[in-house]
Amino acid sequence: MSRINPVSTEAANEKTQELFGQVQSKLGRVPNLMQTLGHSAAALGGYLSLNEALSHGTLSAKDRERIALIVAEQNGCGYCLAAHSAIGKMIGLSQEEITEARVGNASESKPDALLRFVKRVLDTNGQVSDDDLEQFREEGYSDGDIAEVVAHISLSVLTNFFNNVAQTKIDFPKVESVAA
């Protein structure tokens, strides 16, 4: 049961209604995360702005979903695991690739390096070593990519923590945790 209920469009303030309209036109619906985050137009607007900006970065849609999946798994966010498993399938990740991302590895070298780097960032609270950065760069990632990876991790942590606090009702097909 949700600890913070979604705000309906009718009950939302004018700015939140405007943001809901943008989400509705882009996705065809307003997912529960956004309806619940919509209690604060500033929080919802910030989330949507960062998400939109990062969607125009250098990381592929598959890599963005890989990041969201490993972060959600590590943070135990059932809502984000469900959402990003569904989105991952929609953008062409196989079930095997989704499971691999959730546990922090991939069968291909470059996505594996990405997931290993994300895990290091998470495990060290960003206190990665020079060797961690060098290994990531050796796989062809740039300093701009590093900035985007950290920004994507931050975006995922925002939604993971919010959903964990709110216990947002999952409105995507549920998935079970693979964490040990």
Q: What is the pLDDT of residues 63-98, one digit of tens each?
A: 999 999 999 999 999 999 999 999 999 999 999 999
pTM over 0.85: yes
- Cα–Cα distance for residue pair 73/1, rounded to 1 Å: 20
Structure tokens at 124: 């060290």
Q: Are residues 67 and 105 in the same domain?
A: yes
Domain count, the chain: 2
- Cα–Cα distance for residue pair 54/51, rounded to 1 Å: 5
How many Cβ atoms are within 10 Å of 58's Cβ, its own excluded?
12
Domain limits for position 159: 61-166
Burial class of residue 108, CB neighbours in 10 A (0-12, 13-18, 19+): exposed
Q: What is the DSSP letter of 58?
A: S
Sign of CA dihedral 44, 46, 48, 51: negative
Q: Are residues 124 and 99 in the same domain?
A: yes
Is the pLDDT at 153 greater than 60, yes or no?
A: yes
- Average pLDDT in the 151-180 region? 92
Q: Whole-number mean pLDDT of the chain? A: 96
Domain for residue 171, yes or no?
no
Q: What is the pLDDT of residues 105-140, one digit of tens each?
A: 999 999 999 999 999 999 999 999 999 999 999 999
Q: Are residues 72 and 160 in the same domain?
A: yes
Structural contact between residues 5 and 168, judged by C-beta atoms closer than 8 angstroms = no
Q: Residue 179: its pLDDT value, please? A: 56
CATH number at residue 66: 1.20.1290.10
Q: How far is CA 13 from CA 21, 39, 40, 46, 168, in A?
A: 12, 9, 9, 16, 20
How many Cβ atoms are within 10 Å of 87's Cβ, its own excluded?
18
Domain for residue 77, yes or no?
yes
Is the pLDDT at 180 greater than 70, yes or no?
A: no
Q: Residue 1: its pLDDT value, please? A: 83
- Cα–Cα distance for residue pair 174/18, rounded to 1 Å: 29
Q: Residue 131: its pLDDT value, please? A: 97
Is the pLDDT at 51 greater than 80, yes or no?
A: yes
